[in-house]
Structures are given as structure tokens and as C-alpha cells.
Amino acid sequence: MDESIRIGGNAASSNEVVTLSRRVLRPLLRWTVRGRLSEWARVIRADAKQILSQVKAIRVAGKNAHRRLQKVSKTVEHQGETLRAFRREMTEFESTVTRNLRSMERHMSVVRKLGPYLMAIEEEQLLQGGRFRDLYLSEIWKDIEKLEVSIGCINDASQHTNHINLLYVVAVAKHLRAKQIFEFGTWLGKTTYHLAGATDETHVVTLDLPPDQAASGAHQGHFFKTSDRSSRITALELDARDFDASGYEGVMDFVFIDGDHSYEGVKSDTENALRMLKPGGTVIWDDCDGKNPDVLRYLRDFSRERAVFLIRNTCLAAYRDGVDALTFEPIHRDFPQDWKAGARERERSR
């Protein structure tokens, strides 16, 4: 095998080539490698500087964050303490409110118990100077307790303290066998409907404000408008103070007043009632209690000329034409007068 190599047209041995490569190529290679290494070193140093600056920035940011974290921790701790103090105050406040509510409930319980007595005292003061006779319903109208009256005439949604009022009103109308009845204050028409059932020939005229002015609104007369007694009921829609009673003068057997509860309103309704009342007829007023002082004041003034019955254990008052309430002989009630004393005696013996 020929070991010579041709260089520049001349043959050279392999030893010469190796020697040449050592003299030329190695320095060139070293220079190239060193240049590259230097360049890489510069890049690495620049990157290292950048990394170091970033590390410093991170350290600074870390210190700042640590300081902020410490501040936040202190703030949170302070707020936590404030919150705990607030919770303690709220707990104390809740306890105080609970104690006050319990105390208030006890006081309200006492007020509720005293309420009827206080109202009775107020009513007595308002009626002072009037001419009244306080009697049971059955002491005024004989055998009225034997009548059957539909419980449907009770308006249990009214939250009235005494629901038997309307039962009594309808019972009186039935007892009188009233054929012509006038009612001031229609409302939903429940009483109106049952008054119309006093007899098979009864006709009721009921008066109230127009629906757009009345508290009952579009529901005014609801219970009789589409009922089996609607043909026996006439509804007048106007202010009672503008009502002209001349068309009903001396016609009515029974008048029920439960409309405007102001002094002037009750006065106007009563004057019209007396004008419309038939000889021997009856007028009944509702809501004669301490909640309606104007009604009581007017009745006090009215009774100075015509004595009035106060129907016991109700909020009703009655006037009977031709009957003096003060000289009227009460009808005997078949009921033991001392039953309460007997009940108390039995209670004590237990």
C-alpha cells in the first residue's frame, strides 16, 4: 500500500502530513476553540450577572414581602383581636336584649291581663254623665236565646276581640222579624247577607263609600253580590254624610250602625237612623268600646236625651223606640245568679 500523500502536486509521506497537521491545524484549532470558549465565557458571565441581579432583586422582594407579611400578620392579629372583642360585645348585647325581651314579655303579659280592666276604666270615664242601662241581651229581648243563628255571620278574619257581636245583631233582627233593615257600613257584606235572612220577606238597604274610596275596595259586598239573597239587598255607594234619608222616612224596623266611627260620622248616621226608624223600631251601634272613643262620646251625649242599653259583654249599644232603658223591667233570665260563687267554693274545696 502506498503511504504517500500528494500535496500541492508533490508526494509526501504520512509522517510529513502528521507533522504538518500538528504545526498548522492544531494552532488553528486551538485558536478557534479558545475564541469560542471566550465567547461562551462572556455569555455565561453576562448571564451569571443577570441571574445574580435577578437573585438580588428576588432577595430584596423577598425581604419586602417578609416585611409586608409581618405587617399584614400584625394587622390580621389586631383585627382578629378586634373581631374577638366585637364578638364578646355582641354576645353581651344579645344577652342584654334577651333579658330585656323576657322582661318586656313579662310586662306585656301584665298589660294584657290589665288591658280589659284599663279599657273598662277608660270606657267608664268616656260614658260618665250619660244615661245607660247595662243588661244582658236576653234581659232586653225575651226568649232571644232560643233563636238559631248561623255561625257564618261571624267575621273571624276581622281580628275583632268579640265575635259574638254580629251573632247578637243578626239575632235581634230575627227576633224582631224585621222586614225593613238599614245598615250603615257594608264592608264585605257578611253581616248584610245574614241580616237579609231575618225573615223570608226581609229587605236590606246597605250604605258605604264607593269602592274606589272604601277600605274594602273591589271586595265591597263580596258575600251577597252573587248570593241567593242578592235580590233582597240594595247597595248604596256614597258618603253617608251626603245621604238623604227622606226616601226611607219612618220605614225601617231595624237600623245597624257600623260605618264612620268619628263623632260627626256617628252623629250623622244616628240622626238619619232615627228619621228612618219606624215607631217601635230598634237601632244598634257596633264598636262601642275604648278603641273608638268618639263613638262612646257621641253615645254619652245622645243618651242624655234618650237612654241607651249597653249589651253586657259585647261592644254593642241599643236604642228601642218607645222604651226607656232606665225604667225598663229586665226580663228574668233562667240562670243561677250565684253560679260563680258556687264554682269558687268547689275550687277551694279541691
Separation of alpha carbons 207 and 241, rounded Å = 11
Selection from 57-71, 92-106, 150-164, 248-262 with the highest mean pLDDT: 248-262
**pLDDT averaged over the chain?**
84
What's phi and psi for 68, nearest 5 deg? -65, -40
What's phi and psi for 227, nearest 5 deg? -90, 175
Give the pLDDT score at 42.
80
Tell me: the pLDDT tens digits for 181-194? 999 999 899 999 99
Asked which of 86-100, 124-138, 229-243 is least confident by mean pLDDT, the reply is 86-100
Tell me: the pLDDT tens digits for 23-72? 666 666 666 766 776 777 787 778 778 888 887 888 888 788 778 878 87
Give the pLDDT score at 2.
45
Which CATH architecture describes the domain 132-339? 3-Layer(aba) Sandwich (3.40)
Q: Where are the domains of the chain?
A: 14-102, 132-339
Separation of alpha carbons 251 and 244, rounded Å = 14
Q: For helices 263-276 and 293-303, give the axis angle rounded to 10 degrees.
A: 50
Task: Name beta bridge partners: 311.
Answer: 135
Burial 207-239 (b: 16+ CB within 10 A, else e): bbbeeeebebeeebbbbbeebebbebbebebee
Answer whether residue 215 shows pLDDT above 80.
yes
Determine contact, residues 7/17, Cβ cutoff 8 Å.
Answer: yes
Separation of alpha carbons 144 and 134, rounded Å = 17
Distances (CA, A) of 138 to 133, 145, 151, 324: 14, 6, 18, 17
Give the pLDDT score at 277.
98
Tell me: the pLDDT tens digits for 236-268? 999 999 999 999 999 999 999 999 999 999 999
Who wins on pLDDT, 220 or 283?
283
Nearest to 257 by CA among 244, 267, 242, 249: 267
